[in-house]
Amino acid sequence: MEQINYKIDVFEGPMDLLLHLISKHKLNINDIPIVELVNQYVDYVRQLQEQDFDIAGEFLEMAARLIYIKTVSLLPKHEEAEILKKELTGELIEYRDCKLMAEKLSHQTDGFNRFVRPAQEGFVNYDYELFHEGDELLNAYISAAGRGKRRLPPPLDSFKVIVAKKFVAVASKVSTVMHRLLGGKKVKFLSLFEGAKTKSDMVATFLAVLELAKTKKISIEGTMENPSVQMIDEVKDIEQ
Amino acid sequence: MNSNNVMASLEAMLFAAGDPVDPAKLAEVLDIDVENVIKILGHLEAMYDERGGGLRLIRVDGKYQLCTREEYSDDVRSLLEIKKNTPLSQAAFEVLAIVAYNKTVTRSFIEQIRGVDCSGPVSSLVQKGLIEEKGRLDLPGRPLVYGTTDRFLRCFSLNSLEDLPDLPEEEKKDDSQTSLFEDDNPDNDTEKKEDE
Amino acid sequence: MNSNNVMASLEAMLFAAGDPVDPAKLAEVLDIDVENVIKILGHLEAMYDERGGGLRLIRVDGKYQLCTREEYSDDVRSLLEIKKNTPLSQAAFEVLAIVAYNKTVTRSFIEQIRGVDCSGPVSSLVQKGLIEEKGRLDLPGRPLVYGTTDRFLRCFSLNSLEDLPDLPEEEKKDDSQTSLFEDDNPDNDTEKKEDE
């Protein structure tokens, strides 16, 4: 392989490096040849180490993740590898879109040359004149300190903010998945993918499940083959 | 009050306010219809453009604001002794793109997409007034949610977030070779270096 | 640069400056004679008067400043009153609560608790007269310390800070761990980092 001698700070992170490798070697982002990508990536990280660069943890973490995907894809039954690959693909597409948008934004910065002015003084004094209850301060303090004990499960709306309008349409999948699980139903994981029309549809569904699991909204149990998925607060309700 | 006087009053109010002003508030003060206010602000905008002075009227998220014309930015900068603004970093542009396209996001959401810690660029964008906190999520740790500011819209010449460049279309064919890297690899390295 | 452009540039500079500007400074930026600058400012003044808009150019102590015409003072005042009477933002409430419950704090302490740059809310609370500077800490960088004002007590109908609603037990315990002002906690490193 040709000599690589760019610097680590050229890349914004492991995702950026992966995208670079994918484009440089003309790999198909929608069907990443994982073995090839792992080799390229690990080679690159190794060279950095040889050059005594202080490698950020994220780069090593990604290396570990890629190697894991490679390992499971060598198993005779490698559904898990496919899923992990799809997950990575979704993330790469998302980051690629993000870079593209960043690039577009960087070409329309004329407005940085427009200046505005401070409000004209002497007309009003800005002393605050509204009245409030002390409790509003207490609530604000608890909110700021971030340690308020939450007794209620977060409202569904709060998830919309995390997953809303993702570059891949994960938000709609979150509501679809949640809808399927309403009423405490236990649903087979693979059945969530029924009716998916495209690959990105499935990736989005998968990411939606991950997002919901991460925010402890749903539980996943069973074997890797086809676990079942259930809403967490529903579980609690039943137990009580 | 005739319409010339209304226009003059609108000019005075926008000048004094400094920040972008909601036309509804202007209408409230003048006791006339919002539609009328917006129409007359249109005349004011045209007047500024025809006259070719140092000022212009811009729209920011449905609000109106007076600002200087770009042509005179160097003079303004040297009078106010403002350093030539250092261009935003690649990381900052990426964070801005994520915040702008998703309207409101937590820092961990941004980090999930970028795959790296983003506390540096996030706080520098807050300091530059391009993004701001929009509240907290009702989740453990009560994470802050960020969104873009009016200043962001002004700096990127956008009337609203709806005017952002379109997202790339979903891949038409699943197995088509990715087309996003049109500039094939040779200049990729140089391009990145320039970004620094 | 022709004299129209000079006039436009002068307009832009005076607009952005806000405060009165010495014509010598304007001349320096434009690299032309002061006499010339004063002459062109005269044209600008005449143009404003003829046009009958909402703005005018005034001389204060030999310096020049753009301001609104007196005819529109009432409108301007009502607009700014509307703006002034908008309730505090969530961010401002949080900052105010942190200042009130901790009595005196530095900005970096507030930012440490909130996890975000707080210069915006802090200066808006100072402008509204709800918090004020109470001195500087004898620490590297001599950071400013903020505390609440009498106006704050009035707005929240409190006789003193002792009347604030009690914090829940766990908040109190945690609080003493993070407070910078219990002298037994010289954990200044984190604070310094925030300052950078």
Per-residue pLDDT tens over the stretch A109-143: 988 989 999 888 777 888 898 899 888 999 899 88
Nearest CA distance, B103 vs chain A (angstrom): 9
For residue A72, pLDDT over 80 is answered with yes
For residue B171, pLDDT over 60 is answered with no
What is d(CA B53, CA B46) in angstroms, rounded to the nearest whole number?
A: 12
Of C84, C96, C101, the CB nearest to A124: C84
The pLDDT of residue B192 is 37
For residue C14, pLDDT over 60 is answered with yes
The pLDDT of residue B183 is 38
* Residues contacting residue A46 through CB under 8 Å, at least 6 positions apart: none
For residue A199, pLDDT over 80 is answered with no
For residue A183, pLDDT over 90 is answered with no
Tokens of C134: 């109470």
The pLDDT of residue A171 is 63
Chain A interface includes C162 (CB < 8 A): no
When scoring C77, C101, C173 by the number of chain A Cβ atoms within 10 A, the one with the most, hence best to mutate, is: C101
For the CA atoms of chain B, what is the radius of gyration?
Answer: 21
Interface contact A123-C76, CB threshold 8 A: yes
Q: What is the DSSP string of A127-181?
A: -------HHHHHHHHHHHHT-PPP-SPPPHHHHHHHHTT-SS-HHHHHHHHHHHH
Interface contact B155-A13, CB threshold 8 A: no
User: Chains contacting C with at least 3 CB pairs below 8 Å?
Assistant: A, B
What is d(CA C187, CA C31) in angstroms, rounded to the nearest whole number?
A: 52
Nearest CA distance, A14 vs chain C (angstrom): 26
What is d(CA C91, CA C155) in angstroms, rounded to the nearest whole number?
A: 17
Nearest CA distance, A75 vs chain B (angstrom): 25
- Reported as a single tens digit per residue, the pLDDT across C35-79 is 999 999 999 999 999 988 999 999 999 999 999 999 999 999 999
Interface contact C15-B54, CB threshold 8 A: yes
Long-range own/partner contacts, residues C58-66 (CB < 8 A, 24 or more apart) = C60/C20, C61/C20, C62/C22, C62/C23, C63/C20, C63/C21, C63/C22, C63/C23, C64/C14, C64/C20, C64/C21, C64/C23, C64/C26, C65/C14, C65/C17, C65/C19, C65/C20, C65/C21, C66/B15, C66/C11, C66/C14, C66/C15
Q: Give how far Cα C157 sits from Cα of B98, C89, C152, C154, Å.
A: 43, 19, 8, 5
Contacts of A104 in chain B (CB under 8 A): 97, 165
Q: Is A91 within 8 Å of B111 (Cβ atoms)?
A: no
Interface contact C80-A123, CB threshold 8 A: yes
Interface contact B68-A166, CB threshold 8 A: no
Per DSSP, which regions of chain B are E strands?
A: 55-60, 63-68, 105-106, 131-136, 144-148
B158-162, C3-7, C192-196: range with lowest mean pLDDT: C192-196
Contacts of B76 in chain A (CB under 8 A): 115
Q: Which residue of A has its CA nearest to C110?
A: A144
Chain A interface includes B18 (CB < 8 A): yes
- Reported as a single tens digit per residue, the pLDDT across B66-112 is 999 999 999 999 999 887 767 899 999 999 999 999 999 999 999 99
Chain B interface includes C72 (CB < 8 A): yes
Of B5, B9, B52, the CB nearest to C4: B52
Contacts of A6 in chain B (CB under 8 A): 189, 192
The pLDDT of residue B181 is 39
Taking only residues 95 to 134 of chain C, the set having a beta carbon closer than 8 angstroms to any beta carbon of chain A reads 95-98, 100-101, 113-115, 127-130
Strand partners, C21: C64
Nearest CA distance, A107 vs chain B (angstrom): 9
Reported ipTM: 0.77
**3-state SS assignment for residue A55:** coil
Interface contact A101-B85, CB threshold 8 A: no
Nearest CA distance, A55 vs chain B (angstrom): 13
